[in-house]
Amino acid sequence: MTDAPRIILASGSAIRRAILSSAEIPFEVMKPEVDEDIIKKESAREGLDLEPLAMRLAEAKCMNIAAKTDAIVIGSDQIMEFGGRAYDKPATMAEAKARLMETQGAAHSLINAVAVARNGQIIWRNLDRPTLFMRALTEAEIDAYLDAAGPEILHSVGAYQIEKLGSRLFERIEGDHFAVLGLSLYPLLDLLRQEGAIAF
């Protein structure tokens, strides 16, 4: 497909890059310049729910890059919801421990929003909300996990990486595995086929 459109992932996320790479999607990476804190504060003032907030963030990342190119641009965002509250990535290992102590033995959801633009316009949106059921964990188990996993887990909003050691923390997951990782792959692949970006 020599005339296939370029694909750009508007994200600095290593796991989102890995998801596209594993499906052998030809893509480039451009990290968007978006102040997420400003968007979150404005959205809070508006009383915006978490799902539209996640989509607003995905669209902002997507359009920041799409304004500069005619390529297909993929933007994504993920928000963790637990007990009616939104959570950001933990800043320290102590905060990560507190997060795991709080969520162990309970269920939480990950709101995954994906927005795709072409020729400077949003052409597609997708929202997934998988639910993760964490098993009951002792403080000693959480400490052992954090010691083994290391500070890399600070890149995960839930303080775990389900694709690595974090899988040991859960009883089950309901929903799309790729949405848990941060990019809903199957509906995205369908969109890329429709746009002529991939052959199959």
Q: What span, in angstroms and rounded, lies between the C-alpha atoms of 36 and 17?
A: 20
**pTM for this model (two decimals):** 0.93
Task: Region of 140 please: left (phi>0), alpha (psi -120 to 50) or beta.
Answer: alpha
> For residue 37, is it within any domain?
yes
Residue 98's pLDDT band (cuts 50, 70, 90): very high
Tell me the two tokens of residue 1. Answer: 């497909």
Q: What is the CATH number of the domain that holds 161?
A: 3.90.950.10
> For residue 101, is it within any domain?
yes
Q: What span, in angstroms and rounded, lies between the C-alpha atoms of 187 and 150?
A: 33
> For residue 156, is it within any domain?
yes
> For residue 51, is it within any domain?
yes
pLDDT surpassing 60 at residue 1: no
One of 3, 35, 70, 77 is an active-site residue; which one? 77
Range of the domain at 189: 7-194
- Residue range 22-39: average pLDDT? 96
Decide if 77 is catalytic: yes
Whether 124 contacts 75, CB under 8 Å: no
> For residue 123, is it within any domain?
yes
Whether 52 contacts 172, CB under 8 Å: no
Q: What span, in angstroms and rounded, lies between the C-alpha atoms of 143 and 151?
A: 12
Q: How many domains does the chain have?
A: 1
> For residue 199, is it within any domain?
no
> For residue 140, is it within any domain?
yes
Residue 2's pLDDT band (cuts 50, 70, 90): low
> For residue 24, is it within any domain?
yes
Residue 66's pLDDT band (cuts 50, 70, 90): very high
